[in-house]
Amino acid sequence: MRIHSSLASLLVPVVFLALFTPAEAYPEPGSSLPAGAKINDPITADLEQVLRTHIATWRSPQLEVFRWDLFPDVLVVDTRDFHLQDRMFTRLAYFVEKKGFSGTLMTNRQLSGRHGWNAHDYGPDGLASFYNTARAKMFTLNPEETALESVAIREGILVLQDERVAPGRGAVLSISRSSSAIERRYLLTHESFHGVFFSSLEYREFCFQLWDSLPEVERQFNRGFLDSLGYDSKDRLLAVNEFQASLMQQPLEYAASYFERFLARFAEQETHGTVKASSLVATAEALDAFLHSNLGLRAGETVFPVSQEAQGR
């Protein structure tokens, strides 16, 4: 099953930046959860169902949570708007991913007016570090953040141990209804490969091996790209995770033209070194081959119907 033509038209660097860099503004005030609110048990669904579920059928007016049928330890939190998504994930984004802020718990006052990302992904280690740091500092979290911790514990992404949490397995992804329909499809395709990365140890290990085998100039290019988006590129786990997702977010048939435009866009920022589109395509092909052989998946196609082989895993 091939990616929709409307989605293919988005596969250019300028749009990638528009989707992943912080928004200038968004509607205020937005929705929020009351103190003590709990998130419902996840609904098992494929990612196409996540996108097509009408907001009127949600069990909560603020959000709905799904369990990815192909990777049941991966949750997708779909929020009514960016405001609620920010209250749940933006402090996490700064703590786990943001250059110059990693390991820092920002207060709500400090976060005022800041937008994290339009979509999010967090694995067990980042979540555990965030919540344990908040416990140690007796830091007051938003109701949305405490509700997220509770559902992560229920689903085994975090494991409660006395007064601390330990990493379990899986991941939490998030998109929002503040994004347009085509943006949501594009974002969820990208985020889904973060979910695969966190869920599949064999894929994660392959990504690290592939990263280590790259010429230094190619790793430098990927780190420079992350820096340009505000990520902490010194975080090895984050760098490898974003590297693989950016390569896998589009089908291979679009990879060559995408990477040519991508390199042209970043040439002016001197982050490209001597990287060629053909090198990026070869790396994408290696990732795609591993995914297909071991997990029955293809680059850029997780949101769409996948093979029977994948459905049986």
- Same domain flag for 110 and 251: no
Distance CA 34, CA 114 (A): 21
Q: Do 65 and 171 reside in the same domain of the chain?
A: yes
Write the pLDDT tens digit of every residue in 277-300. Answer: 899 999 999 999 999 999 999 999
Are 165 and 47 in the same domain? yes
In a shared domain, residues 138 and 214: no
In a domain? residue 10: no
Cα→Cα distances 270→29, 206, 217, 275, Å: 40, 29, 12, 11
Residue 255 falls within a domain, yes or no? yes
- The percent of residues above 70 in pLDDT, for the chain, comes to 85
Whether 205 and 267 map to the same domain: the answer is yes
Of 176, 209, 242, at which residue does a domain stop? 176
Q: Does 40 fall in a domain?
A: yes
pLDDT confidence bin for 273, thresholds 50/70/90: low
Q: Is 52 inside any structural domain?
A: yes
Give a yes or no: residue 2 inside a domain: no
In the predicted structure, residue 230 carries a pLDDT above the cut 60: yes
Average pLDDT over every residue of 15-42: 68
- Judge whether 98 lies within some domain: yes
pLDDT at 71 > cutoff 80: yes
Do 137 and 211 fall into the same domain?
no
pLDDT at 257 (0 to 100): 87
Confidence tier at 4 by pLDDT (50, 70, 90):
very low
CA 14 vs CA 10, 110, 176, 178: distances in Å: 9, 29, 20, 19
194 token code pair: 């973060």
Q: Is residue 251 part of a domain?
A: yes
Bigger pLDDT: 26 vs 66: 66
Model confidence over 82-122: pLDDT tens digits? Answer: 999 999 999 999 999 999 999 999 999 999 988 889 999 99
Q: Distance between CA atoms of 187 and 47, rounded to whole angstroms?
A: 11
pLDDT in the model for residue 260:
86
Judge if 172 and 216 occupy the same domain.
no
Which residues form the domain of 136? 26-176
User: What total number of domains does the chain contain?
Assistant: 2
Q: What is the DSSP letter of 98?
A: B
Please tell me whether residues 65 and 205 are part of one structural domain.
Answer: no
163 and 219 in a common domain: no
Residue 228 or residue 304, greater confidence: 228
Q: Is residue 195 part of a domain?
A: no
Task: Determine the pLDDT at residue 10.
Answer: 45
pLDDT category, 29, cuts 50, 70, 90? low
Same domain, 131 and 238: no
Q: 269 and 305: one domain? A: yes
| Residues 170 and 207 both lie in one domain | no
- The pLDDT mean for the chain works out to 88
* Helix H or strand E encompassing 201: helix 201-213
Q: Name the strands in the sheet holding 120-122, side by side, starting at the edge strand that comes first in the sequence.
A: 43-45, 63-68, 74-79, 171-176, 120-122
Distance (Å, whole) CA 304 – CA 192: 11
